[in-house]
Amino acid sequence: MKARIFNIMQYKRHPKTGEILLTEEQILNALDHKSILKYGYILHDKDVYMDADEMDDPDHKSGDLKPPHWHIVLQCSQRLEIDTIAKWFGIAPNFIDIPKGKGRDKYIDCIEYLTHEHPTQQKLGKHLYSDEEVHSNFDYRSLLTKRRKDLEKYGTDLSPRDQMRYDVLYTGKTLRQCKEDDKLLYMQDLEKLQKLRIAYISELNPPKTRLNFFISGSGGMGKGLMSKAIARSLYPNLKTDNDIFYIVGSKGACFEGYDGQSVIIWSDRRSYDLLQELNGRGNVFSVFDPHPDKHRQNIKYGSVNLCNEINIVNSVEDPIHFLDGLSGEYTDRMGERHMVEDKSQAYRRFPFIIDIHSDYYDLWINDGFSENAGSYQSYTKRRYTGSLPRLYSVCGSKTDIIRDVENKMVQPIKNKYREIVDRIDCGSFSDDIYTLISGFGAEVELPTIPEDLTPVELTLEEEAHIRNLFNIAD
C-alpha cells in the first residue's frame, strides 16, 4: 500500500527477550532519505499501563511502566510503499500505520500525539512529554499552535485554501491581502476568491453617511493628485492606496474591480458623463446620496454593493455648471429627454467643492451643512496655498516627503470634513430645532370646506382667455 504519511511505533527492545529492535542511530539513518520532507519522533519511556490495558491482558498491570518505545511520524514528498519505509528503518511492515483522514490534518494529529498534549490523552491520564523530548526537522510547536488557533477560529480543520476562502467571505480579507499571504494559492483560486469577495461586500450595510467632493480645475492643475491626497489624509491608518480608494474604470465598466474601498474616485467626469454612465439622474442621486440605502450596481456577470463613505469627482467642468448639469435637462442614451429638476437635489449632495489654481485652491463649504444650517444652494469659500504638481516636480521619488507635505496641504479640507461628520453623527441641534420637532406626530383638525360654494360667473372675454390659455376647444 502506498501513502505519503506514515505513523510508526516500535519498541526499543523486545518486551520479553530484551533484543534490540530499533535504535536512534537506525532512525537517523532512515530519516536521511531525501524523500522524507518532514519528520518528528520521540521515545516514550514514561508511559504506564491503564485499567483498560489490564483488562485486555492481565500481565499488563495498571500503573506499571510500559516498555520504552519509539513513535515516528513521516511526511514524504511522494507516495511510497509501506515495505520501502519498513526496509529503511529495519522493522516489520506491521509496525507502520497509514493514518486515516485528510492528509494535512492526519499528519498534525500524529505529531500532536507525540507529547500526549491533546485533552483526550490527558483525560486518560497519559504522561505529558516535554517539547525538548521531541526531535523534528521543522518547528512543530508553531504548527500545533497555529492548528489550535485555527480550530478556535474556524471550528474545524480547514485546508489553507478553505481558510483563505473563509477569511474572504466572513472576515473581510481583501484580495490584496490574499495575494500577499500566498501568491501561488491566490493565483490558483483567484476566480473563486473574487466571487467570495463580491459576496462579502454585498452583505455589508451602506455607511450611515456618505459625503461627496467635487474638484474642479483646468488641465495640469493636479485634480487627480488632490483627489488621492484627500483620500489618504482621511484614512491615515491604511497604508496602501489600493486599500484606501478605487478609481472608477472606463465607461461601461464603472465598478469592475471595486473591492470595498471607502473612497471612490471619479476621475475626469463631467455631469453629463455621470448621467450617462450611471443610467440616469435617479441612479446618480442614489450613488451620491448623503444617507445611502443598500443599492447594487451592475458589473460584468453580476452586481456589487457600494459601501464607500466618500465619493470624489474631479473635472475640468466649472463647479456651478457641474451641479446645475446634474439636475438640468438632458437626453439619455436611449434618446429619451429628461426635464429639469430641483437644483437643490444636486447641491445638497456635494458639501465640499475644491477649485484648484496654479498655486492655491479655494475650498467651498455648502452652507446647508454649516453650523447655522443655511441654504444648500450657497457656499462659503476659503483660500489656501499650495500646488501638488509643483510638489511632485520638486520632490521626485521622495515619497515620504510628498506624503507629509500633501497631508499638510489638505489639512483644512480634512478638518472641515471631520467637523461636518461629527455634527451629523452627534446631531448637534439648537433649541429651536427641538421646539420645532416637539409637536411632531400630534393630531390636528382638518379644515372645513364650505358646502354652499357659489359658482363664479365669467365674462365672455375671461372664458375665451382661459380656453385659449389651456387649449380647450369650444
The strand ranges marked E within 200-325 are 211-216, 245-247, 263-266, 296-299, 302-305, 310-315
Nearest residue to 287 (alpha-carbon basis) of 305, 260, 261: 305
* Contact yes or no for 258/264 (Cβ under 8 A): yes
> Which residues make Cβ contacts (< 8 Å) with residue 404, sequence separation at least 6?
none
Q: List phi, psi (to 5°) of 61.
A: -70, 130
Using CA atoms, how far apart are residues 188 and 401, in angstroms rounded to an integer?
39
Radius of gyration of the chain (CA): 37
pLDDT of residue 429: 46
> Which residues make Cβ contacts (< 8 Å) with residue 323, sequence separation at least 6?
214, 271, 343, 346, 347, 350
Q: In 23-102, which ranges are continuous DSSP H helix?
A: 24-31, 51-56, 82-89
Using CA atoms, how far apart are residues 66 and 63, in angstroms rounded to an integer?
9
Cell of 420: 461636518
* Contact yes or no for 3/98 (Cβ under 8 A): yes
* Contact yes or no for 44/74 (Cβ under 8 A): no
CA of residue 245 relative to chain centroid, distance: 13
pLDDT of residue 446: 76
- This prediction has a pTM of 0.71
Nearest residue to 235 (alpha-carbon basis) of 247, 245, 227: 245
* Contact yes or no for 54/61 (Cβ under 8 A): yes
Using CA atoms, how far apart are residues 195 and 178, in angstroms rounded to an integer?
14
DSSP H or E segment with residue 353:
strand 352-356
CA of residue 471 relative to chain centroid, distance: 61
Cell of 394: 520638486
* Contact yes or no for 294/305 (Cβ under 8 A): yes
Q: In 288-387, which ranges are continuous DSSP H helix?
A: 319-327, 344-347
Nearest residue to 111 (alpha-carbon basis) of 141, 152, 82: 141
**Looking at the chain, how many residues does it have?**
474
Using CA atoms, how far apart are residues 366 and 380, in angstroms rounded to an integer?
7
Tally Cβ neighbours within 10 Å of residue 277. 20
Sheet of 379-385, strands arranged across: 245-247, 263-266, 310-315, 211-216, 352-356, 360-366, 379-385
Residues of the chain with pLDDT under 70: 102-104, 251-252, 301, 329-335, 338-340, 427-439, 449-458, 466, 469-474
DSSP H or E segment with residue 103:
helix 103-113
> Which residues make Cβ contacts (< 8 Å) with residue 422, sequence separation at least 6?
none
Q: Which residue has the cell 443655511?
A: 374
